Amino acid sequence: MEINNASDNSVVGDSAGSLPSDGTGIVSLDPWLSPFKDGLRTRYKKAQDWIKTIGDNEGGLASFSKGFDKFGFNVNANNDIVYREWAPNALRAYLIGDFNGWNRDSHQMTKDNFGVFEIILPAVNGQPAIPHDSKIKISLVVPNDHARQERIPAWITRVTQELSVSPVYDARFWNPPKEQKYVFKHPRPPKPASARIYEAHVGISSPEGKVATYKEFTANVLPRIKHLGYNVIQLMAVMEHAYYASFGYQVNSFFAASSRYGYPDDLKELIDTAHSMGISVLLDVVHSHASKNVLDGLNMFDGSDHQYFHEGAKGRHELWDSRLFNYGSYEVLRFLLSNLRFWMDEYQFDGFRFDGVTSMLYTHHGIGTGFSGGYHEYFGDNVDEEGVVYLMLANELLHSLYPSVITIAEDVSGMPGLCVALSLGGIGFDYRLAMAIPDLYIKWLKEKQDIDWDMGALTFTLTNRRHGEKTIAYAESHDQALVGDKSLLMWLCDAQLYTNMSVLTELTPAIDRGLSLHKMIRLVTHGLGGEGYLNFEGNEFGHPEWLDFPREGNGNSFHYARRQFNLVDDQLLRYRFLNEFDSKMQWTEEKYGWLHSPQAYISLKHDGDKVIVFERAGLLWIFNFHPSSSFTDYRVGVEQEGTYRIVINTDSKDFGGHGNVDDTTRFFTTPFNWNDRKNFLQVYIPSRTAIVLALENTL
């Protein structure tokens, strides 16, 4: 059975019907893939074989992905509790907890031929036998030494950690009374034509040195995001992870929202409130690996090395010190696909940013491997076809069930077809992250003088993306904010961030340069870099410090594990200028929609003048990166004749500029061919300034 991907994540000249249905349709988008048709057919056939097998056995991907209705704890209408757990290697299993005084023998489970243990707890006086939010565990007898071991149920939806007692998590039976359950009030927003993404971490979302809560994020941060004009939030570190400082990347309970930030219903309220503002919410999903914790993770769950993971070295990531899933296992597929479905259905998330996709796509996991862009690197023995096929199935499932879903791949390799529909032989994501762009900025700020910035290299890096595959561009994400690196504004201004960001102090050359380039780097990335844009929380206003979580190495300090929004609110500090510029950028994109417009036409990249000129979405973008030269009556080409006005001006005093460019200026075109454009106009473009012009009749 072959099914067409329901997403709009491909660009096809012909109708899909006229293209081959064997997974090689993608070759029409990229003829360079022609020598690799056999590889494309193989991975496509494996995906279709899984779809057929799951269809025959389970009635389709949709029902297969509702594993949470069968596994874990389910409460029937009469309040009987049914608990099932897949643990094929275990000999016997018992349910223990507060409800039975932790008696290790009173509640033995029965095992079926598929290795699934089950127990039914009849209601007591019409009420569930296990009290809401009480502690529970599964106690297993394993073959090697017939010893008993207690485990956290794999499908548990709430776990808590009492660090004063033990770092090991406790599982809790989450079953609030009907009248206390959160009821969603707002529908999901439609899929945004342009994705403007605000990447955030709930725990750091406070100026105070503490772990902030879902409720605080809802009350304090959502209004800021709305003011800024972002229409998507990407929430990091929500899936429960044992170690706070791991930034959420050592997941131990895949169905549990982190209890550090509050109760499950608090997260639901956060998402529902975002929806009321027209903002979609994505989950940073970690299916690339899992915590190696045994006592409160999936590792060695049933006493075997290979239940959820590959056996031996194949099942271990040597750099991340974590376990690697076996994507070729039927029950692992059920677990992971159901996990995606759970977050979509239970919490009403709008999609996912898949973390560590490079690790999933290749048997070497990207370790010690540089990708040259040669197509041979994307096929053959180094490719983990089971990982590729899992991602195909995940995207197929999500796009067929949820029309507004957004999926983003974090991949450094440049795998072709990552954002092309499965029906054409692609993997099916909506977007990929443009990871080379922030690397370029950091490298240049570390190694080059401003006068040596190469305009050709800059525009090439910003536009070097696969045709027909949508890209999320960003100047800096959480990767650049983490300790060991510095944010862009820290690279630009260094120690003066602490002494000269007050409007009452002198505007020093370092601060002037920093404010100017911070705005210009973001604007050129927004305009040229992709079909979506991403910013990490706080970086929009040039957050003055990196991100470092409390850990032994820093005396368990929260000093760097917070975002100082108070800096924006202080009218005497220059951070507010950057914040308001970011807002101007997002809301202007909302009006003109350049992110979902065709790629820009670059008419000028002048390395001597350090000037870049391009057109996109009917707007004319002009950048002068020169550190000292300003240009009067600078002639720039433009295709569309008419009268133009400024819609974005980095030099505006509202954004901490000098006000040398008059926002009310009208620019008139002259019908004379210039830089291969039909018309030209002349502008005053000061040093380290960018302006964006629009036709007057669009204002």
Q: Catalytic residue numbers?
A: 355, 410
Among residues 287, 302, 419, which one has the least CA distance to residue 11? 419
Tokens read off for 459:
């525009």
Would strands 351-354 and 280-285 be described as parallel, antiparallel, or unpaired? parallel
Burial class (CB in 10 A: 0-12, 13-18, 19+), 31: exposed
Helix-, strand-, coil-residue percentages of the chain, each rounded to 5: 35, 25, 45
> Residue 407 is which amino acid?
T
Residue carrying the six token digits 């994020």: 217
User: What is the rounded (10 degree) CA torsion for 434, 283, 191, 401?
Assistant: 120
Going 357 to 419 to 599 to 606, the CA torsion angle's sign is: positive
Q: What is the rounded distance in angstroms from the CA atom of residue 680 to the CA atom of residue 687?
A: 21
| Residue ranges with strand state E in 32-147 | 72-75, 81-86, 92-97, 110-111, 116-121, 135-141
Q: What is the rounded distance in angstroms from the CA atom of residue 230 to the CA atom of residue 222?
A: 10
Q: What is the rounded distance in angstroms from the CA atom of residue 688 to the CA atom of residue 512?
A: 10
DSSP 520-531: HHHHHHHHHS-S
Q: Report the b/e string of 63-76 with b at 16+ CB within 10 A.
A: ebbbbbebbbbeee
CA 563 vs CA 535, 657, 662: distances in Å: 14, 25, 34
Q: What is the rounded distance in angstroms from the CA atom of residue 469 to the CA atom of residue 428?
A: 10
Tokens read off for 284:
């940073």
Counted residue by residue, the chain has a size of 699
> Residue 667 is which amino acid?
F
Angle between helices 509-528 and 455-463 in degrees, nearest 10: 40
C-alpha triplet 206, 211, 215: angle, nearest 5°? 70
> Residue 181 is which amino acid?
K
Angle between helices 330-346 and 385-401 in degrees, nearest 10: 30
Q: What is the rounded distance in angstroms from the CA atom of residue 615 to the CA atom of residue 127?
A: 66
Residues facing 623 on adjacent strands:
612, 690
Cβ–Cβ < 8 Å for 214, 260: no
DSSP code, position 234: E
